[in-house]
Amino acid sequence: MTTTNASTDEALSLQKGAAAEVDFDVIGIGAGFAGLALIHYVRELGLSVRIFDRASDIGGTWTWNRYPGAATDSESYYYCLAFSKELLQEWSWTKRYPGWEETHRYFHFIADKCQMRPHIQLDTEIVEARYLDGQGRWQITTRSGETYTCKYFVSGMGMISEPMIPKIEGMDSFRGPLFHSSRWPQEGLDYAGKRIGIIGAGATTVQMLPVVAETAGSVTVFQRTPNYVLPAMQKPMTPEWEKEIKADYDAVIAKCRNHVFGMAFDSPVGRNAVDTPHEERQRIFEENWTGSFRWVFETFDDLLTSPEANRMASEFIVAKMKERVDDPEIAKLLSPSFDDYPLFAKRPPLDHGYFEAFNRDNVRLVDIKDREPLVEITETGIRTTREHYEFDIIVLATGFKAYTGALEAFPIRGSSGKTLAETWKTVSESIMGVCVANFPNMFIVTGPQAPFANLPTSIEQNVIWISRCIAKMEREGFDVFKPRLEAQREWTAHTADIHGQTLMAEGGKVHSWMMGANRQDKPPRVLIYFGGANNYYDRLDQSADQGFPELEFEKLSG
Ligand code: NAP
């Protein structure tokens, strides 16, 4: 198989260090994109690897998020791993945005083709990970009490995976099914004809509502903050389109690698909205209204940096949204305003008929921000300050504890004995989102202070860096790497500095998960590197080329 593995050359002449007596060289948690990428790159180094996942299937986010309508928001043909040119050619997507079923089939295709299954242990929840100081190894404990040791411990648990369950009075009293959107029951939930209440109006609800409304008796959406919603404009992958992509897949992958959001977009475009006359600007906005986040990047280069340009874009989007809703009152409630928050201070959802769903007789929107805040969940429904709504099913589409949630959900103890949760109480610091000071021999795939981008691109770039680091360790006979505190301080300051200059910093005002401002248990913080995913990937490559100056390497005696 032809691979594009940056570490292939480094697979030669690996030595075992003094701390090599372990169950596996590498243990990873999470059998999604990160887990599969890790298996590929670590195996190329000739090392042993085991991936644990508490789910019963591979697929990561696509195993958990199976609510009706769940689909990718990245376009299919670059929402994939790029390590094998053959696999890129062999797999065929059927649509611009595949549903979870199709993405899930893709995971099985990769795992089967690459014979990855022997490296994956499903139905196994990890309840503790502990660094054994002085031994250069990690010990991992499963829910059933088994322990495994490894030299390198890697989190591939995902940056949007740990549900955010809000504290709402009476939550336990509801008699019907009540669950988080990422825990949609796979069997036995027939919602046809039922009255459904959905709390939350983010990307998940935007995908879910049009599908659920088709067969539910009624659907009521409880919305706190309206979103700037961009159109998805789904379309089939035609043979001609597929041929065009596959004629030069390298170019697609290179585009992702060199794009600020890791997407195969044609940007920068070399023009700014603020310098473009009104009519010309509207024409460009209109002509590019063809679906996906492309619109934000392929119209003008200043939409996310200039408040004036952002206002222009925000107003254009809102006008488009309003056109599709029959009732002007509902349209108004669904519309954000630049004066409340700018475009991208919250991650904009992509829609597949969200607004038209509100034109149905069986769909209702409840404004819980100003008109009637939530009071409690009762045995039979949801009470606001004005009304009691009766439901058969309640869905909490309330989002996730992004970037750090999965890493704080069970104790991961570093060399000081402190857990990551304790370490990140007020600031979630890291080195490029991949390593954390006082957590030797541990890597995180897309951890806090990594960029927010097309995830398979970021994940693979992280795993390449990780595998190059492991290759160096093994080739040079090191037992331990220690992330340097100065490097962590430098990255944290750099990330905060950039964050402060972007419009995304306004997310704190509107509970944006991109700043952890949606959590009730922690203050908002800088969680994302917004200096451009492409620049971040360059920085990873530079670091590896220079021998990982952010890390201190050690040999243990004996
Ligand atoms: P989200 O965007 O964080 O939205 C959560 C919703 O729940 C918001 O409307 C929020 O209101 C509301 N909410 C939270 N706590 C609440 C409370 N205590 N009371 C009332 N309302 C509350 O979550 P999400 O929709 O699950 O999406 C999260 C992210 O997952 C997305 O931005 C995206 O990155 C990813 N995602 C991706 C895809 C895809 O690519 N296909 C699909 C779905 C999700 P406020 O806005 O007022 O806080």
DSSP per position, 158-190: -SS-SB-----TTGGG--S-EEEGGG--SSS--
Q: What is the pLDDT of residue 2?
A: 43
| Cβ–Cβ < 8 Å for 180, 198 | no
* Residue 405 Cα to ligand 1 middle (Å): 15
297 lines ligand 1 (CB under 6 A): no
Judged by DSSP in three states, 451 sits in: coil
pLDDT tens sequence across 411-452 = 999 999 999 999 999 999 999 999 999 999 999 999 999 999
Nearest CA to ligand 1 atom 12: 200
Cα distances (Å, whole numbers) of residue 307 to 3, 78, 261, 273, 282: 43, 30, 20, 11, 17
The closest alpha carbon to 400, from 221, 180, 169, belongs to 180
- How many whole angstroms separate alpha carbon 19 and alpha carbon 427? 32
Cβ–ligand 1 distance for 98 under 6 Å, the answer: no
Q: Is the peptide bond before 483 cis (omega within 30 degrees of 0)?
A: no
C-alpha 163 to ligand 1 mean position (Å): 10
Q: Which atom of ligand 1 is nearest to the CA of 514?
A: 32
The encoded tokens of residue 469 equal: 């680091």
pLDDT of 472 reads 98
Which helix (H) or strand (E) is 408 found in, with range? helix 405-408
Structure tokens at 46: 């000739």
CA-angle at 211, arms to 206 and 212, nearest 5°: 95
Would you say the CB of residue 518 lies under 6 angstroms from ligand 1?
yes
User: Cα–Cα–Cα angle for 476, 481, 484, nearest 5°?
Assistant: 130
| Cβ-based neighbours of 293, under 8 Å, separated by 6 or more | 73, 230, 261, 263, 265, 348, 350
Rounded to whole angstroms, the Cα distance separating 76 from 197 reads 31
Give me ligand 1 centre to Cα 90, in Å. 35
pLDDT of 186 reads 83
Q: Is the CB of 462 under 6 A from ligand 1?
A: no
Q: At CB < 8 A and 24+ separation, what contacts does 165-168 make?
A: 165/396, 165/398, 166/199, 166/396, 166/398, 166/520, 167/520, 168/199, 168/374, 168/376, 168/377
Q: Is 482 helix (H, G, I), strand (E, B) or coil?
A: strand
Ligand 1 in contact with 160 (CB < 6 A)? Answer: yes
Task: Report the nearest atom of ligand 1 relative to the CA of 399.
Answer: 23
Q: What is the pLDDT along the chain (558 residues), one digit of tens a residue?
A: 444 444 434 433 344 444 458 999 999 999 999 999 999 999 999 999 999 999 999 999 999 999 999 999 999 999 999 999 999 999 999 999 999 999 999 999 999 999 999 999 999 999 999 999 999 999 999 999 999 999 999 999 999 999 999 999 999 999 999 999 999 998 879 999 999 999 999 999 999 999 999 999 999 999 999 999 999 999 999 999 999 999 999 999 999 999 999 999 999 999 999 999 999 999 999 999 999 999 999 999 999 999 999 999 999 999 999 999 999 999 999 999 999 999 999 999 999 999 999 999 999 999 999 999 999 999 999 999 999 999 999 999 999 999 999 999 999 999 999 999 999 999 999 999 999 999 999 999 999 999 999 999 999 999 999 999 999 999 999 999 999 999 999 999 999 999 999 999 999 999 999 999 999 899 999 999 999 999 999 999 999 999 999 999 999 986
The pLDDT of residue 558: 63
- As a whole number of angstroms, the distance between CA 446 and CA 459 comes to 6
Q: How far is the CA of 207 from the centre of ligand 1 (A)?
A: 11
Q: How far apart are CA 481 and CA 554, in angstroms?
A: 6
Q: How much is the pTM?
A: 0.96
Q: What is the pLDDT of residues 263-295, one digit of tens each?
A: 999 999 999 999 999 999 999 999 999 999 999
Task: Output the DSSP codes for 488-510.
Answer: HHHHHHHHHHHHHHSGGGGGGGG
- Is 407 in a helix, a strand, or coil? helix
Looking from the CA of residue 517, the nearest atom of ligand 1 is 48
**Do residues 529 and 434 lie in contact, with contact meaning Cβ atoms separated by under 8 Å?**
no
Residue 297 CA to residue 294 CA, distance in Å, equals: 5
